[in-house]
């Protein structure tokens, strides 16, 4: 696996507009632009480009139904509570990768 890291939600959106990723992990509580807002922007760009949605795992330190509901409503395919084990992260990633097709690049 190759991992690329964004320092905030706005940077994550920019990266997703320019690069084809097999999967994206977003933290709900990222600085500058939170994960929910970032995912809304990513999904809007995918829809405008008629691109296949990139599989997204939303990560949060909040273990409540509201956080999970918000993540799924925004378009996440999986939710992971921090602190997460490596095994839990691997399981979510492998499950999503098995079921996903490669999205098209969105940016120019």
The residues spanned by each domain of the chain are: 9-99
Each of the 108 residues of the chain gets a pLDDT tens digit; together they read 788 999 999 999 999 999 989 999 999 999 999 999 999 999 999 999 999 999 999 999 988 889 999 999 999 999 999 998 999 998 888 888 888 654 444 443
According to the model, what pLDDT value does residue 101 have? 53
According to the model, what pLDDT value does residue 103 have? 46
The tokens 């829809």 sit on which residue?
47
According to the model, what pLDDT value does residue 107 have? 45
- CA-only gyration radius of the chain, Å: 13
According to the model, what pLDDT value does residue 106 have? 47
The domain made up of 9-99 is a member of CATH 3.40.50.2300: yes
According to the model, what pLDDT value does residue 105 have? 41
According to the model, what pLDDT value does residue 99 have? 80
H/E stretch holding 36: helix 35-48
SS3 (DSSP) at 27 = strand
CB 56 within 8 A of CB 24: yes
Query: Residue 59 has what DSSP assignment?
Result: E
């Amino acid at each position: 696996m190759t991992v690329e890291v964004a320092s905030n939600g706005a940077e994550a959106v920019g990266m997703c507009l320019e690069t084809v990723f097999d999967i994206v992990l977003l933290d709900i509580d990222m600085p500058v632009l939170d994960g929910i807002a970032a995912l809304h922007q990513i999904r809007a760009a995918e829809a405008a480009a008629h691109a296949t949605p990139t599989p997204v795992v939303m990560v949060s330190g909040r273990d409540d139904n509201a956080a999970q509901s918000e993540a799924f409503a925004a378009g996440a395919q999986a939710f992971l509570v921090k602190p997460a084990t490596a095994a839990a992260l691997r399981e979510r990633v492998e499950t999503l990768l098995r079921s996903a097709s490669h999205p098209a690049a969105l940016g120019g």
